[in-house]
Amino acid sequence: MKQPPLLLLLLLLLLLPFLLSTINAATAATPTLSPAPPSTETPSSLDPKQIRALQSLNIPTARDPCLQPSPHNATICDTSKPFRRLVSLHLSNCSSDLSLSSTALKSLSSLHSLSFTDCRASPIRFPSDLSLSLTSFSCIHSLRRLTGLWLSRFVNLTDLTVSNTPINTRGLYVILGNMHKLKTLTISHANLSGSFPRHMHLNLTHVDLSNNKLKGKIPTSLTLLEDLEFLNLSSNGLNGVIPTEFGDLISLKNVSLASNSFSGSIPDSMSAIPGLVHVDLSNNQLNGTVPNFFSELKELKVLNLENNQLHGVLPFNASFIKRLDVLKLGGNGNLCYNHSSLSSKMKLGIAPCDKHGLPISPPPSKESSSSRDSESESSDYDDDSGSADDTSEKKERHHGPNRVVLGVAIGLSSIVFLIVFLVLLSKWCA
């Protein structure tokens, strides 16, 4: 009669490793919360003048605005004594009757960062102490309407963002003329007109001027920006060829020249930009052939060349195409692919070539010219020539499910084994 508890113990012992590993896996999946660092500084409170300014801007001050994190990250203070002072202020979702007063702004000249999001107050002239103190200014769908001159007074800015707010100005040069420290510039959906300034600041790393009314050609001043990593000029009225000097932008990672009127061919000099990740040249009038160098760019993930006038045989092989997240080629009537090296299942959005390198009509249907996503359509490649060199990424993806299946299998088989063992044992004992 002493056998059953013994057997139960044995069973538990055998199952223990399996149970433990399950528990481990479950706990590893939930992030561990690190304890907040102990606060060492002696608390001091915000400058009373600045408290009054915050109240006039409808920012609640019942709770100390210097306590972090502040609601909506609206306020950040420095540690000065006897009173702390605001270094960052974010006004968002303001009530429609909010008005900025000179008195309030005068007392806020300690601010380095000021941002407005969905805050349709009328812009007033900023006191010069505040204008000079700001290194970061952001206005997203706020302040109704700005002028270039108004913005140009923030001469110490390193970051400027204006989007979904119209700017009335003779040109970008008015705004940027004295901002010699600017690193990131976003002026997007801002009805900005005129052409590019003849001088741009060499330290710019990020330029987004998308969705405006800029005209003219890409100037040399832009191609001198050796540190530029991000350039978005999409949806403007720019024209001319993409200059050979474009290849001098050696730090570039993401670039969009989409939806302008650029013509001529894609310059071979772009092959000198080693880190390109995202290239969007869609919706222009680019002609010539698709250059082969794109397949040499090790980091490339997104290539959009659709709706241009590119022609000839697509120079890419299946393993390169599979490596990309997005490849769009549709809307180039004379571009085709070699069906002896690429499968029609790749849905490239272009027709296969005949033996002269011209597209076989009829052109592909509209649907198939949409983006192809290598993740969801990876099974389409199972039968084509490039499937041998499966990417390591895909192997990684199969890793997860396999481990679970293995665990379950081990668990189940050990239970079956135990049952058989117990049955045998009980028969043997009886």
Ligand X SMILES: *[C@@H]1O[C@H](CO)[C@@H](O)[C@H](O)[C@H]1NC(C)=O
User: How near is the Cβ of 267 to ligand X at its closest, in Å?
Assistant: 13
Q: Token pair 């006004």 is at which residue? A: 91
Here the tokens at position 191 are 């009805």
Angle at 185 between CA 181 and CA 190, to 5 degrees: 135
Alpha-carbon Rg for the chain, nearest whole angstrom, is: 31
Which CB, 147 or 203, lies closer to ligand X?
203
CB 284 within 8 A of CB 310: no
Beta-bridge partners for 207: 185, 231
What amino acid occupies position 288?
G
Q: How far, in Å, are 165, 358, 362 from residue 311 at the CA level?
A: 40, 8, 16
Closest CA to 198 of 225, 219, 224, 226: 219
User: How near is the Cβ of 140 to ligand X at its closest, in Å?
Assistant: 12
User: How near is the Cβ of 399 to ligand X at its closest, in Å?
Assistant: 23
Q: Token pair 């200014």 is at which residue? A: 137
Beta-bridge partners for 263: 241, 285
What amino acid occupies position 274?
P
Which CB, 152 or 341, lies closer to ligand X?
341
Which CB, 50 or 254, lies closer to ligand X?
254
130: left (phi over 0), alpha (psi -120 to 50) or beta: alpha
User: How near is the Cβ of 42 to ligand X at its closest, in Å?
Assistant: 24
3-class SS of residue 352: strand
Give the binding site for ligand X (CB under 6 A): 69, 72-73, 93, 132-133, 155-156, 166, 180, 188, 191, 193, 201-203, 210-211, 230, 232, 234, 254, 256, 263-264, 277-278, 280, 287-288, 295-296, 301-302, 313, 317, 319-320, 338, 340-341, 353, 355, 357, 386, 389
User: How near is the Cβ of 194 to ligand X at its closest, in Å?
Assistant: 9
Which CB, 118 or 412, lies closer to ligand X?
118
Closest CA to 287 of 347, 241, 218: 241
User: How near is the Cβ of 380 to ligand X at its closest, in Å?
Assistant: 17
Which CB, 104 or 134, lies closer to ligand X?
134
H or E segment to which residue 114 belongs: strand 113-117
Task: Give the Cβ contact number of residue 13 at 10 Å.
Answer: 9
Helices 3-29 + 392-429 axis angle, to 10: 170
User: How near is the Cβ of 324 to ligand X at its closest, in Å?
Assistant: 10
